[in-house]
């Protein structure tokens, strides 16, 4: 047996022409389900919290119409501050080790958030939003760097499409579940708390099955100054017009989508005069469209 055939993470070892066949491969499937559980948990937590402060709680210092924007901004802030540093960590260390540490962090954050939901403690939940944003920031570079290391070149577009599709299906399911569970009379907050912790545990279990990968640049010296490292990366990207324009295009897509997602609960309540289920329906239509588009990229 050749070396490539014996290594489940070696590109070309088990190359699949069909993108869906990757779900039967150990080099892809555990990573896919880890990412799926994380995205579902992010959105179950965020949307349940948004619905809670939009429809259920009276928070004097945060108007219901602003809740989605505040929660969305807090979640995105760590991406702005720490993405460049997270990229360095991904290059220096085994990506599988990083994934498992991030999933351990997610469990701790969700245990704290569970208490916040049960106690209806808004400041604690806002802190957890920031921490979940940090968790996702650390996972982000791994998400994009892992697949080129384990997939064949002709599998990469399909693999990326599958991960993107899975991400938005998870967003859809997480947000719909968050909106429905938090609205359950009497037990909504407790049910959301349990769901968040269970999804974090499921993601950690899936991460345990991801094969180990070699560090890309183990000798890299980490620059712990997020401002200078972010600026260095922007200058580096600006030197390659294709990379820079791709960066701008992807950033605009996420900005545009975030504006829609953040405003759905307030729009459903203030403009459509609907309940939590109406907000969830808007998310269903939005997420299904993105999921279909991601698969069509192949």
pLDDT of 14 above 60: no
pLDDT for 111: 96
H or E stretch covering 91: helix 64-92
Confidence label for 218 from pLDDT (cuts 50, 70 and 90)? confident
- At 134 the pLDDT is 93
pLDDT in tens, 46-90: 889 988 887 777 766 777 777 777 888 888 889 888 888 888 888
* Cα 181-47-53 angle, rounded to 5 deg: 90
Report the SS3 class of residue 274.
coil
- Tens digits of residue pLDDT in 28-43: 889 999 999 999 999 8
20 within some domain: no
More confident residue, 186 or 40: 40
pLDDT at 287: 73
- Across 236-243, average pLDDT: 85
**Residue 202, in any domain of the structure:** yes
Tokens linked to 211: 């094969």
Q: Which of 125-134, 176-185, 197-206, 267-276 has the lowest mean pLDDT?
A: 267-276
* 148-182 CB burial, b ≥16 within 10 A, e <16: eebbbeebeebbbbbbbbbbbbbbbbbbbbbbbbb
pLDDT band at 254 (very low <50, low <70, confident <90, very high): confident
Please report the pLDDT score of residue 3 as a whole number.
41
3-state secondary structure of 271: coil
What is d(CA 238, CA 229) in angstroms, rounded to the nearest whole number?
Answer: 14
Determine what percent of the chain is predicted with pLDDT higher than 90.
24
In DSSP notation, 172-237 reads: HHHHHHHHHHHTSTTTHHHHHHHHHHHHHHHHHHHHTTSPP---S-TTPPP---HHHHHHHHHHHH
**Mean pLDDT of the residues in the chain:** 83
Buried-exposed string 200-235: b where 16+ CB fall within 10 A, e elsewhere: bbbbbebbeebeebeeeeeeeeeeeebeebbeebee
CATH code where residue 172 lies? 1.20.1250.20
Q: Is residue 213 part of a domain?
A: yes
Structure-model confidence comparison of residues 180 and 5, the more confident one: 180
Band (17; pLDDT cuts 50, 70, 90):
low
DSSP classification of residue 56: I
Of 282, 293, 276, 292, residue with least CA distance to 260: 282
> How confident is the model over 203-227, as a mean pLDDT?
87
Does residue 2 form part of some domain?
no
Residue 5, in any domain of the structure: no
Tell me, what's the pLDDT at 298? 65
Q: What is the pLDDT of residue 182?
A: 86
pLDDT band at 25; cut points 50, 70, 90:
confident
- Domain with 57, as residue range(s), is 25-296
Alpha carbons 167 and 264: distance in angstroms, whole number: 19
Name the pTM for this structure.
0.78
Does residue 11 form part of some domain? no
Structural domain total, the chain: 1
Q: 162, 143, 32: which is closest to 87 by C-alpha?
A: 143
- Torsion of the alpha carbons at 198, 199, 204 and 210, rounded to the nearest 10: 140
209 located within any domain: yes
Q: 144 with 11: CB under 8 angstroms? A: no
13 part of a folded domain? no
């Amino acid at each position: 047996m050749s070396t490539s055939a014996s290594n489940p993470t070696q590109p070309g070892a088990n190359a699949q022409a069909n993108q869906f066949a990757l779900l039967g491969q150990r080099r892809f499937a555990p990573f896919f389900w880890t990412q799926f559980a994380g995205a579902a948990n992010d959105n179950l937590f965020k949307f349940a919290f948004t619905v809670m402060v939009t429809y259920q709680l009276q928070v004097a210092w945060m108007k219901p119409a602003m809740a989605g924007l505040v929660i969305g901004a807090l979640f995105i802030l760590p991406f702005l501050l720490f993405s460049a540093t997270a990229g360095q960590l991904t290059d220096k260390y085994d990506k599988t080790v990083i994934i498992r540490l991030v999933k351990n962090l997610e469990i701790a954050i969700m245990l704290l958030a569970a208490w916040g939901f049960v106690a209806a403690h808004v400041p604690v939940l806002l802190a957890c939003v920031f921490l979940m944003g940090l968790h996702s920031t650390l996972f982000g570079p791994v998400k994009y760097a892992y697949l080129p290391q384990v997939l064949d070149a002709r599998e990469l577009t399909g693999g990326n499409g599958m991960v993107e599709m899975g991400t938005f299906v998870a967003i859809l399911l997480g947000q719909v579940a968050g909106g429905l569970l938090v609205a359950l009379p009497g037990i909504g907050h407790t049910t959301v708390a349990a769901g968040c912790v269970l999804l974090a545990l499921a993601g950690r279990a899936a991460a345990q099955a991801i094969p180990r990968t070699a560090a890309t640049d183990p000798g890299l010296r980490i620059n712990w100054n997020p401002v200078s490292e972010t600026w260095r990366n922007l200058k580096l990207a600006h030197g390659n017009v294709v990379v820079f324009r791709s960066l701008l295009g992807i950033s605009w897509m996420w900005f545009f989508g975030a504006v829609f997602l953040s405003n759905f609960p307030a729009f459903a309540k203030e403009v459509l005069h609907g309940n939590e289920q109406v907000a969830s329906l808007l998310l269903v239509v939005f997420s299904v469209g993105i999921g279909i588009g991601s698969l069509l990229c192949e």
